[in-house]
Structure 1
Amino acid sequence: MAPIRRGHTGKPCLALFMLIAMLYFAAPESIDICRDCSCVGTLLHVSCRGVFRLGAQLKHTFEDVAFRGLDLNVPQSTLSPDLFQNRTGIIYLNLRGNGLKCIDDGMFTILHQMKYLTLSRNALTAIPVFHNLTSLQELYLVSNNIRSLGSNLKAHAPKLKLLLLDHNRITFVQGDHFPEELESLGLSFNRMTSIDGGSLSGLLQLQKVDLTGNLISQISSGSFLLPGLKTVILNENRIREIFKDTFNPELDKLHLNSNRLSGLGNISGIPSLKGLYVSYQREVIKLQEIPLLENLIELTITVESSPDLADGIARILTKMPRLQILSVVEGKMDYTAIGAYFINISILEEYNDNSNRVYPTQLINLRYQESGLVELPQVFAPSMIVLYVPGNLLVELKLKDLTKLYPRLHTIDLSNNRIRVLSSCGVSGVSHPLKVLILKGNKLWLFSAWRCGNGFKILTNLLTLNLDDNSLSYLERELIPRSSSDQAPFRTSVSAGDNRLICDCHQRWLVKLEDSINFVNTKCSAPEGHAGKPLSDLLKDGFPCPLSVSEEQACTISNNSEILVQCPAASYPFPDISWALAESGFDFNETLSVDHQMEDLEVVAGSLVVKLDSRRLYVDEEEMNISLTCRAISEGDTLDINVLVHIEFINVDETGEYSNLSVQCHPSVKESGRKLLQPITASTEDIGLTENLTGWALGDAKSCLRSANGTLIAVMVGITCFVYYVLT
């Protein structure tokens, strides 16, 4: 009898836990810093995060270890006043995210060589009292609870160059609280309501101040009249008016986005201004009222659709000759009554008083977002590198515009337009340097391809093509970069995510591009076996696919005397093919005068060769049809396809001889229940009933469309073909 197993009491586990705890707390205080912390560059920089339990232990950790930088993360711990005893060599100290509410006055006294101190993301309510930080150059106090500033910094950190106090609760600042050598000051997202002449007084070295996201509604004259000031950021405030003599005349950049301005007249007093950012005001600023600043290089503005919009933009481009970056964003746009307002070359000529030439602008970056454009901005920009026109109403991409207007363009973003058509019409024999083409969120669909030839023969330098979020079911040969024989191979990254791609055998041609095209963010949605799989994985596996009707041309002519008929079946692994005469076809013996029934039919590597000998071929008509059926078998699946061979005899004389011929093949899937005739193979077994029948494939719909004559008929046939394809 097996011994009875007693219940486990858990006492051994408890004893083991207590032993480990005793050993842990009995461990020596001197901890191996490279075992418990991460060290970078032979102890020049040490990062200790969550390693220690008590602040008192930290003191001994650093003994006899030489390092210059320290990241210390000890949340909710208390830092010992003598923590940095004998650590005079520290230059960089990061105490970010420790939850510190206060810091002992003498904590950093010994660190007189320290240049960079980070105390962000703590709970400090006041700037700590620093003693003897005579070398400190950068101090980060972002995201604390600081409400006011004292004079401590000016007295004990006289060489401070950068001070960041963003995301605190400061309501008031005075210039004499800051070190005189301060060059950059961050006060964004505090609670200040006004700025006056004393707020920054005495800061003669100050170059940049950021006051974004406060509650500022008033700025007094002289507030920013500092001789060294180059950048002022006042975004997201409540400013209604700019007073005269508010800013340094030598100011470089002024940010006033998201305020309540209605005019910019007094900005004309800043003649050296190079960057002006005034988008998203409560009231739309009229372009005609923007001061003409000859030195302006970059302008960001929000506009409202109006009949004089194009004139206003033309005025800016012609009267500000140094402008390189223009960002135009639509403010209040009514899509029910939107017009086509875009920059037009003829208007530029009018403003420039020169109608004999195209006026070139100096733009290198143009952002024209959600502004109702129906075509690309018609402005000649020979230096433009980046063009952003997302969220407009374009329905066609014309390469002619790129080559004519933007000959050096590097990146174009056309996302979220309505583009259905890609056109290379009117362009030949040129190569454009475009490297990034973004067509995300457009209307490219089932039959989308380049008009007037493969546009990638022009875009030979393309590195990135984004086709995400369109209505693509197939990636057509003309839609993906393919190198011709006279081109260097493409090295393009193609993204086609958020489409409903059907990864059947129609897409297997992509295997040939695997070395030159990198598909990213591109997954299949069908057929069932491939749904959810990355396209790149299928290509690496050779693109296995089930039986379907191929789009490849099924008939070719050789030496005007042979017709090679290929079975239009596609699969991988490749299918086994057999042939038979269809029931409704012509009798070969009656239609073609041949000596023997099988002499002019031969199966070669799965293809059927029809041999035609003009010396013994006599025809009563100038054209005829031959109906054949091929059976394809792959991986246990069977597909029977009817192939209608249409032969047209050219220059037939009265004796029935011809000098030339043309041939077309029209495939269709064999209907259910049709019984096949004797196969044209060495075997004489019946093929039997058709199995695994499918509906018309994409190739059938396309052939059907191409065969329709006349616009109305083509539309009706197209609709019929598409509906039949979907239903079956």
Structure 2
Amino acid sequence: MFRLPWVSRRHSASKLHLVMLLAAVLNSVETAATFCPNGCDCDDETLVVSCVQANLEVIPIALNPSIQRIVLKENRIKIVDAAFQFYGDLRNVDLSNNHLVTIPNNSFEAQKQLVELHLKHNKISALTERTFQGLKSLTVLNLRDNYLEILKNGLFTSLTKLEELDLGQNRISRVDPEAFQRLGSLRVLYLDDNQLRGIPSPALSPLNALAELHIGLNAFSSLPDDGFNGLSRLAVLDVTGAGLDNVSEGAFRGLNALRNLKLGGNKLREVPTRQLATLPRLEDLTLGQNDFTALRAGAFHGLSNLKRLEVCGAKLLTTVERGAFNDNANLESISLNSNKRLVSMEDGALAGLPNLRHLMLRDNAFVTFSESLVAWGELRRLDLGENPLVCDCELHWLSEVLAARNSTPVVCAEPQDLRGKSLKGMAPDELGCAFSDPRRQALVATLGGAGLVLFAGLALLLYYRCRRRVRDALKDYKNRAISRKEHEYQKTFSDDEYIVRAAHAQQQAQVAAGIKPIPVTEL
């Protein structure tokens, strides 16, 4: 084929220009691939990009395409666009604290290896079943603190490997029965701080692998029978601050694996003893900020595995009765802090607790403590601070207990001259003990009394066993005394004394017969 020379030259020049343009584009793309925006930290070795408070309004598209983690917290990003299509190797994405309002369908379709997606503290109000399409490896999804109101059926069906789902602090008032369909691997679910008016039991029942459920800070008034049906592996249940004033008899039925139950911040007027007794493996129980007036005898009957109990901030609690923990020999820790009216723990309230090692009685209304309340010396942790203690001689034992350990400060409230002073190591005379430690006084008195009783007993025993000998000895002594007197009376006189005494006797006889006596000198 014939070609004009200038045409050939023109074609060659165009080809060369095209090659040069392509090289420039490729060079530009390669340069852009490693571009790191202002305010970001890009590490091509660890494949981590961090753009915290970088004032970004869009997701960067010119980062290293091999990045595995991107942190875009605290920016002004409003939408998840197609930018993630460029980063197919991502494992972790954090878009928390932005201005996201919506997430277009299939936005994460390229993220087949994504494991964690954090979208908390945004303004997301709606999701669809295609929002998370493609996230087949996702195990953690955090949507806390958004504007979600309804969880529709099939919303998370594409997340078959999801293990943790945080939907707390939204505005959710409705959970459809199949909202959690196909979440057979889910282990942790947060639905706390929403607007639920009841336990969404039908939606929860398919979650047979669930280990933790946080559903407090809602608007419940009661826990119904079998409200957690199907959650046979549940180990942690948090119903804090849900407004409960009633717990049905079978509310916890079937929760045979439950070990940690939080029922604080409700309106319960009594410890739900019968309801709790259906939880054979319960170890941790939180019941603070309820309306109890007393922890009554047998309040925790049936909870033989209970190890830790917390009843803090119960504004009406005044008394812990004797036998309150009768069935709880495995208790290791009791925390009864900040109960402003708690003034009495009856003797025997803490009896029968051989494993008790942590006792917190801080910020209550105690004015004294009984020495026999607990084996104080065996406690590893003791907190008696911020109680209005009257420091007198009856608390000298506590002064010695505190002196022997590194415990939190215990300060006197009364009497006036001891106010604000530490009770720890306080001397007996400072506490008004007149002579010595009252315990030592009692010990001396006891020993003295015992000695007297023992001496009297021995004396009586000796008397009864030796009374004949004693009687014979006394008789013999008496006879010998009489004999001694007779001997003294009959002892020999001199001749002169005998004559004088005889004459005197004769005169006495004559006087008695009426005969005038002859003077002794005339004889």
TM-score range, shorter chain: 0.5 to 0.7
> Residue 225 of structure 1 is aligned with which of 147, 154, 157?
157
Tell me the alpha carbon deviations over residues 342-371 of structure 1, each in whole angstroms, 9 at most, x when there is no partner. xxxxxxxxxxxxxxxxxxx54322223334
- The yes-or-no answer on 1:310 pairing with 2:248 is yes
Is this contact kept in 2: 1:384–1:409, CA < 8 A? yes
- 299, 306, 311: which is aligned to 1:414? 311
The AA in structure 2 aligned to 1:363 is: L
Distance 1:508 1:259 in 2: 52
Q: How many residues align?
A: 405
Task: Give the deviation of 1:207 after TM superposition.
Answer: 1.9
SS, match of residue 152 in structure 1? helix
| SS at 1:415 equivalent | coil
* Residue 558 (structure 1) aligned with residue 448 (structure 2): yes
2:386 match: 498
8 Å contact from structure 1 (residues 154, 180) kept in 2: no
Normalized per residue, the structure richer in strand is 1
Task: Report the 3-state secondary structure (helix = DSSP H, G, I; strand = E; otherwise coil) of the residue aligned with 1:267.
Answer: helix
Q: Measured at CA, do residues 237 and 375 of structure 1 come closer, stay the same or move farther in structure 2, by a change above 3 Å?
A: closer
1:191 has 2:123 as partner: yes
Amino acid at match of 1:460: P
Residue 386 of structure 1: CA displacement? Answer: 0.7
SS in 2 for 1:510: helix
- Per-residue deviation at 1:520? 0.9
Secondary structure in 2 matching 1:185? strand
Name the counterpart of 2:358.
464
Equivalent runs, 1:274-293 vs 2, <5 Å: 274=210, 275-282=212-219, 287-288=224-225, 290=227, 292-293=229-230
CA positional deviation for 1:376: 5.5
Secondary structure of 1:545's match?
helix
Counterpart code for 1:163: V
Cα distance in structure 2, aligned partners of 1:283 and 1:397? 24
1:636-655 maps to which residues of 2 (within 5 A)? Answer: none
Q: For the residues of structure 2 that align with 1:511 and 1:283, how far apart are their CA atoms?
A: 47
- Residue 532 of structure 1: how far off its partner (Å): 2.7
Q: How does 1:433-452 map to 2 (within 5 A)?
A: 433-442=330-339, 443-445=341-343, 448-452=344-348
CA distance in 1, matches of 2:127, 2:104: 10
Equivalences for residues 52-63 of structure 1 within 5 A: none
SS in 2 for 1:513: helix
| 1:374 and 2:312 matched | no
Find the residue that maps to 2:84 and give its secondary structure.
helix
Instruction: State the distance in 2 between where 1:278 and 1:558 align.
Output: 65
Structure 2 residue aligned with 1:267: 203
- Give the aligned residue type for 1:472: F
In the alignment, the residues of structure 2 paired with residue 228 and residue 425 of structure 1 have an alpha-carbon distance, to the nearest angstrom, of 45
Counterpart AA for 1:420: T
The verdict on how the C-alpha distance between 1:288 and 1:512 changes in structure 2, with shifts beyond 3 A counting, is: closer
Per the alignment, residue 349 of structure 1 pairs with none
- Contact map agreement 2:271 2:292 (CA 8 A) in 1: yes
- The answer to whether the Cα contact below 8 Å between 1:105 and 1:130 also exists between their aligned partners in 2 is no
1:172 aligns with 102
Q: String of CA shifts for 1:135-162, please: whole Å, max 9, x gaps.
A: x33322222222223333331x332211
- Cα distance in 1 for partners of 2:197, 2:450 equals 79
Verify: 1:142 aligned to 2:66, yes or no: no
TM-score norm. by structure 2 comes to 0.65
5+ unaligned residues in a row in structure 2: which ranges? 1-30, 460-523
Q: CA deviation at 1:234?
A: 1.8
In structure 2, what is the equivalent of residue 120 of structure 1?
52
Counterpart AA for 2:401: L
SS of corresponding position for 2:270: coil
Cα 1:390–1:206 change in 2 (3 A) is same
| Superposition pairs of residues 205-216 of structure 1, within 5 angstroms | 205-216=137-148
TM-score (normalised: structure 1): 0.49
Letter in 2 for 1:173: I
1:255 aligned residue: 190
Q: Are residues 131 and 177 of structure 1, via their aligned partners in 2, closer, same or farther at CA, if it must alter by over 3 Å?
A: same
Quote the residue 1:531 is aligned against.
419
Going from structure 1 to structure 2, the CA distance change for 1:533 and 1:139 (only over 3 Å counts) comes to farther
Structure 1 vs Structure 2 CA RMSD: 4.0
Match of 2:176 in 1: 243
Q: What one-letter code is carried by the residue in structure 2 that aligns with 1:293?
A: G
The Cα shift of 1:120 comes to 2.5
- Give me the whole-angstrom Cα distance separating, in 2, the residues matched to 1:154 and 1:144: 20
Q: Distance in 2 between matches of 1:154 and 1:382?
A: 51
Could you tell me how far apart the structure 1 residues matched to 2:420 and 2:65 are? 60
Cα shift readout 1:404-427 (whole Å, capped 9, x = no counterpart): 522222111122341424414996
Larger Cα Rg: Structure 1 or Structure 2? Answer: 2
Cα distance in 1 for partners of 2:284, 2:328 equals: 18
SS at 2:175 equivalent: coil
State whether structure 2 residue 311 is matched by structure 1 residue 386. no
Q: Using the alignment, how far apart are the partners of 1:140 and 1:476 within structure 2?
A: 57
User: 1:449 touches 1:478 (CA, 8 Å); kept in 2?
Assistant: no
Match of 1:635 in 2: none
> Residues 283, 381 of structure 1: CA spacing in aligned structure 2 closer, same or farther, 3 A cutoff?
closer
Alignment CA distance shift 1:137-1:481 (3 Å)? farther
**CA shift in 2, pair 1:290/1:129, >3 Å:** same
Please give the residue correspondences for 1:90-101 in structure 2 after superposition, counting only pairs within 5 Å. none
Alpha-carbon offset, residue 547 of structure 1: 3.8
C-alpha distance in 1, partners of 2:373/2:207?
A: 49
Paired AA for residue 368 in structure 2: Y
Task: Work out which structure has the larger RCO, using CA pairs closer than 8 Å and 6 or more positions apart in sequence.
Answer: 2
User: How much has 1:530 moved relative to structure 2?
Assistant: 4.2
Q: Residues 246, 514 of structure 1: CA spacing in aligned structure 2 closer, same or farther, 3 A cutoff?
A: closer
- 1:249/1:269 contact within 8 Å kept: no
**In structure 2, C-alpha distance between the alignment counterparts of 1:217 and 1:400, rounded to whole Å:** 43
State the 1:129 CA deviation.
Answer: 3.6
Q: Write out aligned runs for 1:663-702 (5 A).
A: none
What is the CA–CA distance in structure 1 between the aligned matches of 2:281 and 2:205, rounded to whole Å? 29
Alignment partner of 2:395: what SS?
helix
Question: What SS does the corresponding residue of 2:93 show, helix, strand or coil?
Answer: strand
Q: Distance in 1 between matches of 2:325 and 2:140?
A: 50
Provide the rounded CA distance (Å) in 1 between the counterparts of 2:36 and 2:393.
69
- Flag the 1:292–1:165 CA change in 2: closer, same or farther, 3 A: same
Give SS of 1:194's match: coil
Q: What's the CA shift string for 1:112-147, capped at 9, x where partnerless?
A: 32233433344332333443251x333222222222
Q: Is the 8 A contact 1:113 1:133 kept in 2?
A: no
